[in-house]
Amino acid sequence: MEYRELGATGVMIPEVGLGTWKYRGGPEPLRRGIELGANLIDTAEMYRTEDAVGQAVRGIRERVFVATKVLGSNLRYDQVLRAAENSLRQLDDSVIDLYQVHWPSHSVPIAETMRAMETLADRGMVRYIGVSNFSVAELREAQGAMSKYPIVCNQVLYNLKRRGIERDLIPYCRENGITVMAYTPLADGSLAARPRLSSRMGKAGRGWEILDAVALEAGRTPAQAALNWCLWREPVVVIPKTNSVARTEENCGASGWRLTPEQVARLEAAFPV
């Protein structure tokens, strides 16, 4: 497993972590991922998987970087503090490594939310502060509201089929020392499972055929090639979710190598922005 710096913190996290949205796999897939070096686990108040993460890391917590998120409907100052306390109870833990605002609110001033996030860091309940689903403008506003701590991460949708963040968000995060944590990097599994190709699939079918061909050339699976493509752009890390030990092993195999520039170009032509 290769690692990348979280923001400008000096803390190294795996370029392939473990997502837990709709996770139902029990502790084994998560523990196998940790064994393979994927020691970043991302959860959220909304996912209702914090307790499952807590169970999976019990006895090995010092080896794991745990990230979770506060609901976008709980962004008032006191709500953020209560939500963090509840997440810690669910995780059966005393500190959250990365606490993220799940999505911006149009009704709560971002300054109020980020003040609560900084209070949590002051109290030692949170090590690092991040956001999720923030545009460049929203990210700038959140950064401007911070007085003591940096925003180290923005978790956003990114995969071969959804490339909009390449226009401005990835360049902005790269220039400002902010990690981009890509969720749904396999497009809800559609980039991992071979479809039944037909002439009626049009561009989608041709795109998958090229992904399949590139994976074959690289001696990897299509899922590994799709994840590796994401990792071509720093400062991106990916957090695919699976309930399977075998799929966890496969996803972790996306790290430690790179597609060639020519293969990347072919994939990007097959899945245009």
Q: Catalytic site residues?
A: 47
CA distance 135 to 177: 16
Q: Is the four-CA dihedral 198, 215, 233, 183 of positive or negative sign?
A: positive
Residue bearing tokens 């003040």:
115
* Cis status of the peptide bond prior to 235, with omega within 30 of 0: yes
Strand ordering across the sheet containing 40-42? 18-19, 40-42, 65-70, 96-101, 126-132, 151-157, 179-183, 236-238
Identify which of 37, 12, 165, 29 has the alpha carbon closest to the alpha carbon of residue 97.
12
Q: Token digits for 98?
A: 């990365």
